[in-house]
Amino acid sequence: MATLSQLVGIVATVEGLDRDRVGAIARAVREANLIDTHGRGTSAAHMGVADAANLLIAVNAAETARSAPEIVRRYRASQTNNSRRLQFGVILQEMIAAAKTRRSADFLMDIGFGPRGALRERLSLTLEKFDLRIEFIGGRPLVVIECRLPGRAMPKYLPFYARGSTARAEADRRIAISHRTIHAIAENVLL
C-alpha cells in the first residue's frame, strides 16, 4: 500500500496536476482527519480506499486547500434522489475497490448502469471495456457519474445531490475524471 506522499504523486501524475498543489490539498484534508495519519518514514500511514476517495474528491472539487476538508464532507454526503439514496463517498470507495479486483463492470451494473437478468450474465463475462466519467460540478455539491457500456448507444447518468436538494447547480466550474484515474489509483495505491 502507498503512503500519502506516493498517493499524491500518483494523483498528480494521472490527472496532470501540479504535485505541490495536490500535496497542499492532501495536507489540509489529512489535518481534518479525512485521510489516515500516523508515523513517518517507514512507519507512515498506508492509504486505504477511503483515503484515496477523499483525495480524489478534494483535488477535483475544491478550489483551495483551505476549502478542501469541507468540500470533501459535502461531496461525500451527496446522495442520489432515487429510492436507493446512494451516497457518493461510499460509491466512489466501492468503485475504487472494484477496480482493484477487476470487477468494475459488475459494480457499475449493480448500481444501475447495466441490464438485469440473462443479458447481464452474458455481459459480465465479456465486459471490462466501458466509458466512465465522474463530473464534479462547483457551487452546490453536484456529482454526476456517466457510464456507457458496450452495445449501448446512449450513456446513463447517476446524479448525486446535496442533502435535501435536487436543484441543478449554477456553476461554471466542472471537472471530470474517467475510469483511467480510478484504475490508476486502484492499481498503484492499494494492495
What pTM was computed for the model? 0.86
Phi and psi torsions of 143, nearest 5° = -125, 135
Q: What is the model's pLDDT at position 23? A: 97
What Å distances lie between residue 31 and 36, 43, 67, 71, CA to CA? 9, 18, 12, 14
Confidence of residue 169 (pLDDT cuts 50, 70, 90): very low
Q: What 3-state DSSP class applies to 175?
A: strand
Q: What is the model's pLDDT at position 58? A: 97
Q: What angle do CA 153, 183, 122 make, to 5 degrees?
A: 45
Residue 169 is classified by DSSP as: P
What Å distances lie between residue 102 and 44, 98, 179, 186, CA to CA? 28, 6, 12, 10
Query: Which tens digit of pLDDT belongs to each residue from 84-111?
Result: 899 999 999 999 999 988 888 788 888 8
Q: Is the pLDDT of residue 129 over 60?
A: yes
Q: What is the model's pLDDT at position 146? A: 94
Phi and psi torsions of 15, nearest 5° = -100, 0
Please write down the HEC assignment for all residues of 98-166: HHHCCCHHHHHHHCCCCCCCHHHHHHHHHCCCCEEEEEEECCCCEEEEEEECCCCCCCEEEEEECCCCC
Confidence of residue 166 (pLDDT cuts 50, 70, 90): very low
Higher per-residue pLDDT: 151 or 30: 30
Confidence of residue 34 (pLDDT cuts 50, 70, 90): very high
Q: Is the pLDDT of residue 125 over 60?
A: no
Distance from C-alpha of 165 to C-alpha of 179, rounded to nearest angstrom? 27
Q: Is the pLDDT of residue 154 over 60?
A: yes
Q: What is the model's pLDDT at position 59? A: 97
Place of cell 504523486: 9
Q: Is the pLDDT of residue 80 over 80?
A: yes
